[in-house]
Structure 1
């Protein structure tokens, strides 16, 4: 018996749901619908062209690969815009919503020509439209450079801007400092304000929200505080991980979140970790943060860093001042964050101006020697890092104990920490970098990660890369577990301090 298009699609989706992250499945595949089955090709309807193109490039091949098992024969999957579904408001998450009557949110009625909103001044008082903290004028979608490390987060932010309060609500973006989380949520605000200047936007970080709430309690102005936050059209909150442990503030934020969400208005949040991994955060807030889209931004790869630097040069009209080879040199050596990349450009320009020299690789090496040395210290192979010998270590010898010797790099580095910890615990550095999770390796691995964090100041992504490509959530758990063991076991603490003391002697 031949299967209908809907039945074929249902079987493929069943396989896809088992393979893909739940958030990816819900965001991109759940809103689709089988349109037709033409021979061995199934045509799938998506709510708009963006979603169709995204699914075609990201998921079509994977779905087709399920055909032989799920259907018993090969199948080709193609996506197109489903015109009927595109008209449904609940699915219209990446296109301009159709004209609608004014709502209580104060957004007014859209002007079909210019995409503006007519909103009477009496409905939206001027003081309510003021952004709580200033938006960075450069934090727009046009200025955001998309790469593999942030493409899903960028697509989700664009979706939230095109259809606020719908599919991507709340939008929760997490990742390390300086990777573009704030840029993306502010880009949502810029896009909404460009389309409707009367949009009420509130942008704060968690500390500001807490301070304002405390001041409102002290000044007996909590009603004004709640009105200011709960009547906004777009709430942007940075660093929600700092809500942890603040029970009264979490209670207030919970009710603020509910009021905005239930009114169909957009919420965008950022954090350094996913909701479930924020310690001391109430379960009801965790569940609400996961209602919409949770996505992350990672460290950009080399090609992405080059593109970011070129964009920076273009925005500042520096294309003719900074040669391509210098941009590639910076991209190769400065890897910690986007913010650090941009700061390197600024520092290089200032250095060249003071020295009255043209910008060259040699000048960049001199101007950024502290950043390059920092990269060398964490073992990210530059030519001058001294990591050319086998095992990445130099020839000097340091005696960790009467019976244990190991090769030492000229300065404190990830590798020296790994080798020192491995010697103390009787394992190998390669074991610390492996995927093996036996307790014999897990404990010293966690100690080595903690020492890398404390002695070298590495970011979570850098530590994860140095220990077998572990993700930042695993690193967070390892750091917290090592700290717990140090606090609970005096003998363990003494052992860690012994290694720490020996490593401190390697500082230059």
Structure 2
């Protein structure tokens, strides 16, 4: 049956919780001419699916050869409403119960994989992830306003998409507005030009339960836009609504931002997402490889995790390249192929540093970089710390002082660590073997 094939295809491309909640309940009614009729349990359900998944389903119809098929949603025992190729209903509108405000949600197209289930949590982002979950749950733990900042490709958009997915899954009638700061500014300019600023303000101040604005750093120097957004934040926060803002800069590093606006943005939790550590990168590589039907052994995953740092999109790019090259090579993925791909992604002239060795040792001993840099004197921490310092001195050109800075130690502590490890190498064969394995891994960096 056509719909059975479409559902299978959707199940592969959508997160499991999204599929089970919004696609599984849909019932195939009939395929009449060039129209495919689907029904939902009620009008609200059908309206939500129409708004959020019509284009995705239409794409799957085309993939299965139904190029000119029109998608039609309906409620059981009710008249069906056709949907155009743009995913908009031809006629009719969503009905509301008396006294229920109109759900005029506006949001960017949500990536189906950008859900909480697909987000890889690590030491680098756990506070931001838990804060976003708190905003969805409305438990008040982070206050009404959440500010997230990070570099490019570290997961800000993934988390804001995840918030939108979760909000619509749990409370479909929530009035959510999700847009970039540039889109907000452009909409405000249109409101001024068309003399509809009252409607503009009413939309965000009176008809919004949760506001998500990305890239607020792009408002630098735009005083009027800052004033308008500041007024909206003030109204929403005072009325107990939720606000999530993202930026590539911390609030203090924002230039050309009004002090009152800056203060309003930081009225709740401010959190920074950092680049993932090696252990988190290892899990990211494994997860994203499986998503692309790539089955890599531990050494290959480890090589990718140790060499591709920072922007997570680089990992995705590398895995796409690995898969493409593997197909040309008959499906075989070996270390030479992975090295070739990594060299094209990060470059071949990478200089080995103490920080890179610290990262490697962190993953090998299953301790965090933060623990290696801490004041802890526990053996499970001091041993890998001393080994990392030893390897850094042996394989890099950095001075004792520079190595010490990586671990928050002075040069005398580095000297002591090198002596301790050197003595163990003479007396303990197991340490010698362990260092040989680690040395080989360092040489591959």
TM-score range, shorter chain: 0.5 to 0.7
Residue 147 (str. 1) matches residue 111 (str. 2)? no
Stretches of 4+ aligned residues off by more than 6 angstroms: 387-391, 429-435, 465-468
* Cα pair 1:334 1:375 within 8 Å, conserved: no
Mapped to 1, the partners of 2:158 and 2:298 lie a distance apart of 25
Structure 1: 5+ residue runs without aligned partners?
Answer: 1-117, 394-414, 416-428, 436-464, 469-508
Contact 2:150 2:273 in 1 (8 A): yes
After TM superposition, the score normalised by the length of structure 2 is: 0.56
The equivalent of 2:12 in structure 1 is none
Q: 1:163 Cα shift?
A: 1.0
Query: Following superposition of structure 1 onto structure 2, how do residues 107-118 of structure 1 map, counting pairs within 5 Å?
Result: none
3-state SS in 2 of match to 1:331: helix
- Deviation of the 1:309 alpha carbon: 1.5
Q: Are the counterparts in 2 of residues 236 and 267 from structure 1 also a CA contact under 8 Å?
A: yes
Q: CA deviation at 1:164?
A: 6.3
Mapping of 1:455-470 within 5 angstroms? none
Pair 264,375 (structure 1): closer, same or farther in 2 beyond 3 Å:
farther
TM-score by structure 1 length? 0.50
**In the alignment, does 2:253 pair up with 1:281?**
no
Which residue number in structure 2 is paired with residue 215 of structure 1? Answer: 190
Residue of structure 2 equivalent to 1:345: 319
> Residues 205 and 357 from structure 1, CA distance in 2 versus in 1: closer, same or farther, beyond 3 angstroms?
same
Pick aligned residue for 1:192 from 167, 170, 189:
167
Q: Secondary structure at the match of 2:316?
A: helix
Structure 1 residue 160, shift from structure 2 partner? 1.1
The 1:168/1:360 distance shift into structure 2, 3 A limit, reads farther
Distance 1:361 1:371 in 2: 15
Structure with the bigger RCO (C-alpha within 8 Å, sep 6+) is: 2
**Equivalent residue, structure 1, for 2:434:** none
Please tell me whether the aligned partners of residues 159 and 168 of structure 1 are also in contact (alpha carbons under 8 angstroms).
no
Aligned partners of 1:222, 1:374: CA distance in 2, in Å? 54
Q: Which residue of 1 aligns with 2:296?
A: 322
List gaps (5 residues or longer) in structure 2. Answer: 1-94, 361-390, 410-445
Distance change >3 Å, CA 121–CA 311, structure 1 → 2 = farther
The 2-side partners of 1:209 and 1:141 are apart by 26
Q: Residues 119 and 141 of structure 1: is their aligned pair in 2 closer, same or farther, counting only changes over 3 Å?
A: farther
Whether contact under 8 Å (2:124, 2:276) holds in the other structure is: yes
Give the counterpart of 2:335 among 332, 336, 361. 361
The answer to whether the 8 A contact 2:393-2:403 is kept is no
CA spacing shift, 1:287–1:263, aligned 2, 3 Å? same
In structure 2, distance between residues paired with 1:235 and 1:164? 17
Residues 1:303 and 1:121: Cα distance change in structure 2 (over 3 Å): farther
SS in 1 for 2:179: strand
CA distance in 2, matches of 1:434, 1:282: 40
How far 1:337 moved relative to its partner? 1.8
CA-CA distance at 1:119 after TM superposition = 6.5
For residues 387-437 of structure 1, the C-alpha deviation after alignment (integer angstroms, 9 at most, x for no partner) is 9997846xxxxxxxxxxxxxxxxxxxxx9xxxxxxxxxxxxx8888987xx
Q: Counterparts of 2:349 and 2:131 in 1: how far apart (Å)?
A: 32
C-alpha distance in structure 1 between counterparts of 2:141 and 2:126, whole Å: 20
Aligned-partner Cα distance in 1 for 2:143–2:269: 5
Residue number in structure 1 paired with 2:272: 296
Residue 323 of structure 1 contacts residue 359 of structure 1 at CA under 8 Å; is this kept in 2? Answer: no
In 1, Cα distance between equivalents of 2:139 and 2:200: 23
1:179 partnered with 2:144: no
